[in-house]
Amino acid sequence: MQTPLEENPMSSSDPSELDDEIDYRRVHRSQHPQGSVVRFGSTPFGDGGFTVIAGPCAVESADQIDETARIVADHGGRVLRGGAFKPRTSPYSFQGLGLEGVQMMRRAADNHGLPLVTEVMAPTAVEEMADLVDAFQIGARNMQNFDLLKAIGASGVPAMLKRGFGTTLREWLLAAEYILAEGNDQVILCERGIRTFDEATRFTLDLAGALWAQRETHLPVIIDPSHATGKPGLIPSLVQAAVAAGLDGAMVEVHPEPESARSDGDQALDPEQFAELMQRLERVAGAVGRPLV
Ligand code: PEP
Ligand code: MN
> For residue 240, is it within any domain?
yes
> For residue 203, is it within any domain?
yes
Q: Cα–Cα distance between 106 and 96 in angstroms, integer?
A: 15
Residue 57 in contact with ligand 1 by CB distance below 6 A = yes
Number of folded domains that form the chain: 1
Q: Which residues, 6 or more positions from 143, have their beta carbon under 8 angstroms from its beta carbon?
A: 161, 162, 163, 164, 167, 171, 172, 175
> What are 281-292's pLDDT values in tens digits?
999 999 999 999
> For residue 145, is it within any domain?
yes
> For residue 76, is it within any domain?
yes
> For residue 209, is it within any domain?
yes
From 53, 59, 119, 165, give the residue whose CB has the most ligand 1 atoms within 8 Å, as the site to mutate: 119
> What are 29-43's pLDDT values in tens digits?
999 999 999 999 999
> What are 150-205's pLDDT values in tens digits?
999 999 999 999 999 999 999 999 999 999 999 999 999 999 999 999 999 999 99
216 C-alpha to center of ligand 2: Å?
Answer: 28
Across the range 255-266, mean pLDDT stands at: 98
The CATH number linked to 216 is: 3.20.20.70
Q: Are 50 and 286 in contact, with CB atoms under 8 Å apart?
A: no
Mark the residues whose beta carbon lies below 5 A from ion ligand 2. Answer: 57, 264
> For residue 13, is it within any domain?
no
pLDDT of residue 20: 54
> What are 30-83's pLDDT values in tens digits?
999 999 999 999 999 999 999 999 999 999 999 999 999 999 999 999 999 999
> For residue 292, is it within any domain?
no
289 C-alpha to center of ligand 1: Å?
Answer: 31
Q: Residue 16: pLDDT above 70?
A: no
Which ligand number lies closest to the CA of residue 88?
1
Determine the structural domain holding residue 273 and report its residue range. Answer: 44-285
Residue 255 in contact with ligand 1 by CB distance below 6 A = no
> For residue 28, is it within any domain?
no
Indicate which atom in ligand 1 lies nearest the CA of residue 165.
Answer: 9
